[in-house]
Amino acid sequence: GAVVSQHPSRVICKSGTSVKIECRSLDFQATTMFWYRQFPKKSLMLMATSNEGSKATYEQGVEKDKFLINHASLTLSTLTVTSAHPEDSSFYICSAMTSDQPQHFGDGTRLSIL
């Protein structure tokens, strides 16, 4: 079945640094990718919707300058957390889909900012 790969699975970094998370669709071309954030024991919160070749659409309350999303190809989207701080620590999950398939989710990235 369709597979979405997310890398890295875990990252620990110092406050003030920027962190890039990759999301790849391995066996299909994803016209749309989504980025979610999940707090401990909470549901997924949609951060932004990303269409290949166009700017991402951010949900209300999500800082677009803080969470940079690039969807340069039909198989790759990246989320860059800029100048990360401890409050940005969370579990980030991406998903990818096409017009004839539902969203397939990556395994998530646990980001810890010290």
Note the residues at the interface with other proteins (CB under 8 A): 4, 6, 31-32, 34, 41-44, 46, 49, 51, 93, 95, 97-99, 102-108, 110
Write down the least CB distance from residue 26 to other proteins, Å. 14
Question: Cis omega (within 30 of 0) on the bond before 102?
Answer: no
- Residue type (1 letter), 99: S
Residue 36 or 81: which CB sits closer to other proteins? Answer: 36
For residue 107, the minimal CB distance to other proteins (Å) is 4
Give the integer Cα–Cα distance in Å for 112 and 105: 21
- Decide whether 7 or 82 has the Cβ nearer to other proteins: 7
Least CB distance from residue 83 to other proteins, whole Å?
Answer: 26
Q: Are 82 and 21 in contact (CB under 8 A)?
A: no
DSSP-derived pairing of the beta strands 10-13 and 109-113:
parallel
- Shortest distance in whole angstroms from residue 97 CB to other proteins: 6
For other proteins, the closer CB: 28 or 113: 28
The angle subtended at Cα 18 by Cα 17 and Cα 19, nearest 5°, is: 120
